[in-house]
Amino acid sequence: MTKPLISVSNLSIGYGCRVLMKNMSFDINRGDVFAIMGPSGCGKSTLLRVMTGLIAPLSGTISVGGRDFTGDECARCDIMRNIGILYQGGALFGSMTVAENIELPLRQYTGYSDSMIRDIVDMKLTLVGLPGVGDLYPSQLSGGMKKRAGLARALALDPQIVYFDEPSAGLDPIASRQLDDLILEINHAMGTTIILVSHELESIFTVANNSIFLDTARHEISGRGNPNDLRRNPPNATIKQFLTRGKTNEKSAE
Ligand SMILES: Nc1ncnc2c1ncn2[C@@H]1O[C@H](COP(=O)(O)OP(=O)(O)O)[C@@H](O)[C@H]1O
Ligand SMILES: [Mg+2]
């Protein structure tokens, strides 16, 4: 058996003395599209922040490629260099052009020349379906284009893992589906491991091959596996209700 790319062990997360989730253990394999599911406020974004090293867990460990980065500042920096994050809304700097936004991580982490950086920016914009928009400002882009530009920035350093927080939030159904297609394309074409936080069921069922469900009341993971399998055989009433949007008399969400 191949070793997991990410291994989370006995992880508890929260703020101060408020514990959101406790004793979480799960693995993510290389090439997975892994969904973190759960109702609003259960701690999905917090888990993402902990997994990307932005905040510390209350306890437990997270290792990436066999290296535990909790409590090891050096490992944390190395790991952060190898991940991309697409925040809700794209989180582009409004005073910079799209190209300047994508250049940021390249200027921060590499010694590439200006012309090389320009080539990489053009390549990433083409990859996300936005060729030629580098000179525009974020305010000139639609919601879907902002997410794509944010994704181009997240991909600038060719990360092996990309984290998405609610990728389809605020998008119309067509833009949302196009973003799902793009996520799968990047996963297939580059083997990038994708971890996404979402409560958009359609998107989860389309893109994810593995998942965990965070249960607010129990403060723990109460289900795991392929979301489509979880929908067919929900392990408990909470997951059944979540995955069928409360239509518990029906067999599926569609
Ligand atoms: N920086 C923070 N300090 C204290 N509490 C926070 C902070 N960020 C989020 N929370 C609280 O933690 C809970 C989980 O938040 P979050 O992880 O954003 O949930 P989700 O992404 O699942 O909707 C919420 O009750 C939220 O108010
Ligand atoms: Mg959130």
Look up the pTM and report it.
0.91
DSSP 32-77: -EEEEE--TTSSHHHHHHHHTTSS--SEEEEEETTEE-TT-HHHHH
**Residue 190's closest CA among 155, 166, 163?**
155
**pLDDT at position 93:** 92
Position in ligand 1 atom list of the atom nearest CA 46? 17
DSSP 176-239: HHHHHHHHHHHHHHH--EEEEE---HHHHHHH-SEEEEEETTTTEEEEES-HHHHHHS-SSHHH
Which ligand is closest to the CA of 18, given by its number? 1
Positions of the chain with pLDDT lower than 70, given as ranges: 1, 89-90, 246-254
**pLDDT at position 94:** 92
Position in ligand 1 atom list of the atom nearest CA 165? 21
How many whole angstroms from 15 Cα to the centroid of ligand 1?
A: 8
How many whole angstroms from 142 Cα to the centroid of ligand 1?
A: 28
- Pocket of ligand 1, beta carbon within 6 A: 15, 20, 38, 40-46
**pLDDT at position 247:** 66
Residues 156/105, Cβ–Cβ less than 8 Å = yes
How many whole angstroms from 113 Cα to the centroid of ligand 1?
A: 40
148-207 pLDDT tens trace:
999 999 999 999 999 999 888 888 888 888 889 999 999 999 999 999 998 788 889 999
Contacts of 219 (CB under 8 A, 6+ apart): 19, 20, 21, 22
Which residue is closest in CA terms to ligand 1's atom 16? 43
**pLDDT at position 250:** 46
**pLDDT at position 251:** 46
Domains of the chain: 1-82+193-254 (3.40.50.300)
How many whole angstroms from 49 Cα to the centroid of ligand 2?
A: 10
Residues 215/238, Cβ–Cβ less than 8 Å = yes
Residues with CB under 5 A from ligand 2 (ion): 45
